[in-house]
Structure formats: structure tokens, C-alpha cells
Chains A and B, each alone.
Chain A
Amino acid sequence: MAQITHVSRRQFIQSTGLGAVLVLGAQIRQNSIFAVARAQSATSVQPNLFVSIDSDGTVTITCSRSEMGQGVRTGIPMILADELEADWSRVKIWQAPGDETKYDPAGKDGQNTDGSRSTRHHFEIMRELGASARNLLERAAAEEWGVDASEVYTKHHRLYHTSSGRSFDFGELVDAAANLSLPTGGNAPAPRLKHPSEWKYIGKDLPVVDNFDMSTGGAVYGADVSLPGMKIAVIARSPVYRGRVRSFDATEALQVSGVEQVIEIPAMADDTPTEFRALGGVAVIGTNTWSVMEGRSKLEIEWDDGPFTAHDSSTFDDALRESARRGGSVIRRRGDVDEALSTADSVVESEYFVPYLVHTPMEPPVALVDATARPVQVWAATQAPNETRQYVAEALGLEKTDVECHITLLGGSFGRKSKPDFACEAAILSEAVGAPVRVQWTREDEVRNGYYHAASAQYIKAGLDASGNVTAWHHSAAWPSLMALWAPDVKAASTLEAGLGLIDLPYNNIPNLQIETGEADAMIRVGWYRSVNNIQHAFATNCFVNELAAAADRDPLEFMLGLIGDADEMDLTEDGVEEIWNYGDSIDDWPIMPKRLSNVLRTVAQKSGYGKQMADGHGLGLACHRSFHSYVATAVHVVVRDNGSLHVPQVDVAIDCGRYVNPEGVRKQIEGAVVFGHTIARHGKITTSRGVVEQSNFHDYPLTRIGDTPLDVRVEIVDDYVHLRSCGVGEPGVPPYAPALANAIFAATGKRHRALPLTDDAISI
């Protein structure tokens, strides 16, 4: 581990040009993260960009990730605090602005908080940063005492001299540490990291640092930042994707008290990819959110609907189904499925469908931009502060370095706030009116003009031999690709999306496999949504394997375990896969490990009491899935009533996420993922008619409420592989829920459901 650490550290220093950065060392937070500080001020020392220590002993740890409910402002600083031997009660968190040259210490994700990767990409570097700061304090104490640094150790915010028992609080060493010489970059010895047995916070439950603010109204979200002279805007956008304003009349809108201006934001040129750019529309600007909403409702706009009026669920969904049956692009092949199917004792085939979904974070997108300032100032609820800077700069004809982005708390996000179109809108309007502008999206805006989880169809055909063994699995899927944001004409599935639970189909013991994708048109903004394509892939594979178990007259648990097996690793290159996305990470560092999937499945079966006698109308369903390198198995106990209404008295989830930091945070994410999965399973459905999204708010796009949610969710964090690298937690709990519920409904009723959502009408007996 030390060697790996050392390499990554050197790479970072090379990538940021340590020597040049040191010149800036006297400016607060301007030095390289590994530069030991000189006196930053009379009262504090900053060992590196991620920690500073005040003379009263307060330790301030930098959080460079966006908090959207996943607990990152607690989890990542915990790692550093642990290695520093800080007292958590004396730690404060400082939210870094967007600047990947300083605040992306692992150099892996440009400060984009997505892909469930914060912990796995920061675990080692945060330890190093904490250890290097501790090392600095130990050297300072050694100098003060005139002893060798090897005689000094750190414990709970104090430095101790081993033989004399003398000690200093961190705060007492600020001056001495500030006067220490700088280490010599990559040649500096790596400070000793604590042994896991010495950890005081990693692996222990901690409440989130924002708990008090979040329970008292003091937490600051995107719409809670105000600037003097600020204006507020809402925007009428084309009901059809890539439509544009033909003409508008703002006479009545301008008569609304509080409305000051109505401004058109031009639509993108026809040949400009959508990416995260402003969609265009008519903005109503004023002093009060209600005023501008009222004003917007009085706009008369004639739209040119643009090229996507043929996007209609009544035909688009069938086109996806046909494309899935056609397939065409083979992405994984083992053996010969055609031959195996032709000689199979029986063949089972099914088709699955998952509709478009939209994020619906409780806080709709919102951003405040002051384009009159230099650098331009952005305050946004954003997962991607540097892409926000990039797209805002482009919108204003500036350079990215001309834009600063401050990150507020995100009132939920689930992928939506990775896409900073809303900040571009605010920037354009701020420049136009010459004042800071907050753009507020309404719920209707968010539902109708969103980035949508891709609708998808899948077709699977499998062969069984006379003993009920699966001899062939032929799986084909079609969905509009999110890559169309950048390449509008793209029809083929991307390696990234296929890597989300399709190409890595876990049934490693099937001798003949063929996985392929069909083409689809992207006729709307397709974008990633919590756990992304894993949702539909986990749904289809787990439901279909359950169908096969029934066809083979075998118990589903035993059947699944037999197909997954207990191999150490599954090597996709053996099946002709040349490019595996693997969540952006090396397959050597995060291999696909069937034994871990089987392990969580066995665990959840045991915890849930799988196999016990169930009363009539009750069923227990299982599903398991690897995503974001984590292994999750879910057991849903359902009670189905005759009218199709159902109740979920208990859910058990087992997660193996490798090395975890805050188990309470893991539990919370899994509990939430179950509810998120329940919404997908029971409610989520976006449809279009003549290109227009037909839903608008929570009456026609309902979310799970306390009355229909599972209220007894039991999370088992499986420790067997805790010594391995950290894996994702925010997303992996989502995919197995819907198939576990569908399989439970089958166990309770004998009815199969192959399309989401599983509405009462569909389920009624």
C-alpha cells in the first residue's frame, strides 16, 4: 500500500507543478496541497490545502466534494481527521470552490461528485494528507522540545514526548509549525500511515456535520444565497426538446407587480450539441420569485417546436422493443448461443421495459450568478463546479479561469445537478441585466425540461438442458444514449452505458453467452440518474433468472448462486471484451469478483429468513447486482392484496462496499436507495406526446411517500472484504430493489411483471 501511495503522490505533484505553486505559499489556500505552510497568518498554519490549524486548536478540513445527502462532508474529512489524530469535536469543514488544479487531490474526477466515487478516489489521498499534517506537527513539537521527531507521537489533538510525558495541544504548535522548512516535493519521505487497528473514526458511526443546521433551517442551499441588487428569474422553455421561440408577447407579464424585464435567451444553433448549455427560452426577471412565476404564466409565446415532435411514447417504446429484438452490435460473446439454443431442451424468452425517469430532487435546479464581477461569481447547487465554470464561461465568451464557482449544499440531486445548464441561464441573464441573477427552476420545469434516465427495452432468450442447467443466455438491449448530448446523431449504445450491468452480466457459469445492443434515437435530453443503466439491467437480469429458475423448477436462490459461482474474478477479456469501462477505474484495482456477489446474496437470504413458509399473498423476492464496484443483494417481503395494492413489511439489504468509512452513512444511503428503488418500481414513468413530456409535478409524477414506503429496512454491511479498496455506496443500493420486488410479487401471486412501474392495475389479480 505504501508503494501505491507513494506513486500516486508523485503523480499528483508532477501534475500540478509543485515548484511553481510554492511561490504562492504565503497566500492562504494558494499553495500546493503538499506544501507545508509558512505562516499563513499570525494565528494559523496550513500544512496543506486540505487542512489548516488555528492557534485555538481548531482544525479546518477542506471538503472538495459536493454534499447532496450522501454524507460526503462528513465521510471524506473523517479520513483526514483520523490520520491527523484530530479530535472530531474540534474539526470544522470548509467547502472548497471549484478549482480542479487545487481541490482534486486524487487527480481523477475534476471535482465532479458523481459515479459514487468520492470515497474510493479519496480514501488514500485523504489519509496521506492527514498523515503529512500530523508529521509536520510532530516535527514542530520535536524542535520545540529539542528532541528527535521519532520520540514524538500524536494522540487526540495533542503531541506527546514519549519519555518526558510533555505535551502540546495542536493549537500551541501553530507558530512553530509555520516556521518549519518546506519538504522537498516528491523526494520527501511519505509519512507513516496508521494501521487500521489504530483508526479512531474510519469504520465508526458519526452523525453528519450538517445535522444541526439541517434541523434548524440554517443549512444553505442553492436558492438561499442572495446578493445586493440581485434579481430573480424564471424561464419559459420550449415544451419540445430543441424547440425555439418564434415570437412572444410580454405585455401582460410586464404588468405584474414585481416583474421588471422579460428577456429572450436565444436557443442554441441547430448544429450545436446540447451538452449542458442553456436551452433558451423567455425569461421573466424581477424582485420576487412569485412575481416572476406569475409573470411567466402571462407570457404569450409562439414556439417553433423543432425536430422532435415525432417523439411519442406510443411509438417510441415499440421502436425500442423492436430494436432490442434486433440487437446487432455484439459486445460480449462466449461460446455459441445459437448452437446452444438450437439444441436446448427448452427455451425461455422474455422482454423487459423500463420507461424514462426524471430526477426530482426536492430542490429544483437553482443558481445565482454575478456576471458583472471579475472573476464572474457563481453560487450553485452543483455536482460539477468546474464544468459549471466551463459552461458559464462559454456562455459569456470568457475563459474558465474568469469564473469562480461556490458550491452550496444540494437539496438532493441524483445526477441532475451534474448538468449546469441552469447556471448558464443565470449567467446569460446576469450579463443581460447587469446585476446578479438567480434562476429558479420550478417543479414543472424540472419534470418537463429535464435530463431523463433513458427508456429501455431488453430481450432475453435462454436455453435449459434437461436437468435445468442454463446452457445459453442471449441478451439484447436498446436505449437512447446519453452520449447524444455531445454527439446528437449517435444511435449506438456507449461502452460506458453497456458497462453498467449489461456487459458484466454476472452469471459467469453459463457456457454460452451473447450480449448485444440495438440502436435508438435520442429525441430528448438523456442524462445519468442515480445508478443509471444499472436500473434496467439489474431489473431484467434478476427477473429473468427468476423466470428461468421457475422453468427449471429450482429454488431461485440456489439457482442464482449456481450461475454466479464463487470465482475470485470474472475476466471479460476471455469473452472477447476489449474495452470495459469499469466505472472509470482499472480492472486490476477493482476487479469483478463473483464470490463477493454470491456472498452478499447468501447473507441477505439468511438475514431475511429466505425459505421460510409464507402466508397466502406474501412473497419474498431476491435480487443482487454489482455496480460502482460494490456488491448488493436485496430481499423484499411483499404482501399483495386482491386489488393489486401492496405492502412491503420488510426489506433486507446486504452490501459489500469494501473499505467503508462511516457505517451510519452507508446504512442511510442504502435505506434511501430502497425508497428510491421503490419509487422506480411503483411510480416512475415519464412519457411524451408529440415531443412534449406529459407529466409536470408530483400529482402525475408521484414519488414514494411515508404511507407506501418500506418502513423496516435492515442493512447488513458485509465485512468479509473490508480490507479491499473502497467501492461506491450512493448508487449501488438502487438497482436490486425493483427486481427483488417483482420477484417477491411473483412468489406471492404467481404473476410475472416485466415492465416498470409495477402499478396496482398491473398487479391486480
Chain B
Amino acid sequence: MVPLTVNGVSHEFDGDPNMPILWYLRDELGLAGTKFGCGMALCGACTVHIDGRAIRACVTPVSAADSKEVTTIEGLDPDGNHPVQRAWRSHNVPQCGYCQSGQIMQAASLLAENPAPSDEEVIDGMQGNICRCGTYQRIFAAVRTAASEV
């Protein structure tokens, strides 16, 4: 039994503790905002927070969240108005949108740890998140905008 909190709600996970958090969120809890992209921590589509820090949910087992707080895109802000989310909309970042949950969670974690990142730090921080539609230019601008508001 793995006790954990997901978006503020307490859960007791009684499955295989090796199950990646991604599939617990999507298939067991029905939190579909976190996406599957590669299964190997190569693309960042599955990024969620454990105790506020970005992790790749496709390779992180539920056991790693034992007694911890998992936050997904659905729980980042009750109204969807986290500064990063607002910046994403004001820059019209998404195209297909599929990677954007992960991008936003990564950016939110980056700014929580480093509220005033340099350009290089933004690029380093977002390097693990692939956007196949190629929205990087707007992602970069949106992170800069969000940094000015965090």
C-alpha cells in the first residue's frame, strides 16, 4: 500500500508499486491531462510534480511518491490561471497541445526553483521537453513572461 496525495486528494495505491505514476494517473485515477509520449523519459510529455519538483511520470514508479504530494496539470491551479498557464495563453503557444501539459509543468517547476532564470537557464530547463509542432519560440517567450509574474 502506497499512501500519496494527488492534487490535494489522499489516495492509497494498492497495485504494483513499480507501476509508473503516469499509468496510475491516467488509467486508475482518470487524470488524463498527463500525456504518454515515449515511455523513456525522453520527451517530457508526462511531466508532473512530486513535492513541487518536475519528474517524468512515465519512468517514475508510484513507490517514489510514497507519502508525497503529486501535482498534475489538473491541479496546478484551481482555475487554470497559474502564471505559466496565463503566459501560455497570452503567447498562443499550443498548436496540437499534446505536449503542453508537460511543458507547463516543467516550466512551473523551473520557475519555482529559479524565479529569474537567464535565457540559458530557460533553455536548459526546458531541454527535456519535446514539442513536435515546434512551438519552442513561443514556449521560450512564455516562460520569460511567466518569470516576470511569478
Question: Using Cβ atoms and an 8 Å threshold, which residues of chain A touch B88?
Answer: 211, 215
Tell me, in angstroms, the Cα distance from A232 to B28 when the chains sit together.
Answer: 12
In the complex, what residue of chain A is closest to B127 when comparing beta carbons? A707
Q: A363-B37, A411-B35 are in contact. Are A713 and B97 (CB under 8 A)?
A: no
Name the contact of A676 in the complex, choosing from B16, B33, B134 (C-beta under 8 A): B134
Which residue of A291, A442, A703 contacts B132 across the interface (Cβ within 8 Å)?
Answer: A703
A362 — which chain B residues lie within 8 A by C-beta? 35, 37, 43, 45, 96, 98-99, 130-133
CA distance A412 to B99 in the complex (A): 9
Counting CB contacts under 8 A, is B147 at the interface? no
A417: shortest Cβ distance to chain B, in Å?
11
CB distance from A195 to the nearest CB of B (A): 29
Q: Are B137 and A711 in contact (CB under 8 A)?
A: yes
Contact between A360 and B132, CB atoms less than 8 A apart: yes
User: Does any Cβ of B come within 8 Å of A337's Cβ?
Assistant: no
Shortest CB-to-CB span from A57 to chain B, Å, is: 25
- Which residue on A lies nearest to B88, using beta carbons? A215
* In the bound complex, CA of A711 to CA of B134 (Å): 10
A673 and B135 CA atoms in complex are apart in Å by 10
Whether A664 touches B123, Cβ cut-off 8 Å, given contacts A671-B135, A672-B135, is: no
Q: Which residues of A from 50 to 67 have beta carbons under 8 Å from B? A: 67
* Given known A-B contacts A412-B133, A697-B40, A71 and B35 have beta carbons under 8 A apart: no
- A668 close to chain B: CB less than 8 A: yes
A413-B132 Cα distance, complex, nearest whole Å: 9
Residues of chain A within 8 A of B74, CB atoms compared: 216-218
Asked if A442 and B39 make an inter-chain contact with CB atoms under 8 angstroms apart, the answer reads yes
> Considering the chains assembled together, what is the distance between the CA atoms of A219 and B85 in angstroms?
14
B144: shortest Cβ distance to chain A, in Å?
A: 11
How many A-B residue pairs have C-beta atoms within 8 angstroms? Tell me.
Answer: 192
- Selected contact of A214 from candidates B37, B100, B129, B138, CB within 8 Å: B100
Chain B: which residue is nearest A713 at the CB level? B137
Contacts of B135 in A (CB 8 A): 668, 671-672, 675
Q: Is B30 within 8 A of A226, CB to CB?
A: yes
A290 in the interface, Cβ–Cβ < 8 Å?
yes
B1-33 residues with Cβ-Cβ distance < 8 A to A are: 15-16, 19-20, 22-23, 26-28, 30-33
Assess whether A318 is interfacial by the CB under 8 Å rule.
no
Nearest CB in chain A: distance from B85 CB, A: 5
CB of B38 closer than 8 Å to a CB of A: yes
Contacts of B67 in A (CB 8 A): none
Contact B134 A217 (CB under 8 A): no
Whether B96 pairs with A412 at a CB distance below 8 angstroms is yes
Q: Does A709 interact with chain B (Cβ within 8 Å)?
A: yes
Of the listed residues B32, B37, B43, B132, the one surrounded by the most CB atoms of chain A closer than 10 A to its CB is B132
Q: Which residues of B contact A291 (CB under 8 A)?
A: 19
Q: Is A517 an interface residue (CB 8 A)?
A: no
The 9 closest A-B pairs by CB, nearest first: A217-B33, A675-B134, A411-B98, A69-B96, A214-B97, A69-B95, A217-B73, A672-B134, A216-B80
8 contacts across the A-B interface (CB closer than 8 A):
A216-B74, A223-B36, A224-B32, A291-B19, A412-B96, A414-B132, A676-B132, A698-B38
Chain A residues packing against B (C-beta within 8 Å): 67-71, 207-208, 210-221, 223-224, 226, 232, 257-258, 287-291, 293, 360-364, 409-414, 440, 442-444, 664, 668-669, 671-676, 678, 697-699, 703-707, 709-713
- If A706-B136, A707-B127 are given as contacts, then 9 extra A-B residue pairs at C-beta distance below 8 Å, sorted by A number, are A69-B95, A211-B89, A223-B32, A232-B27, A291-B19, A362-B35, A411-B96, A675-B135, A675-B136
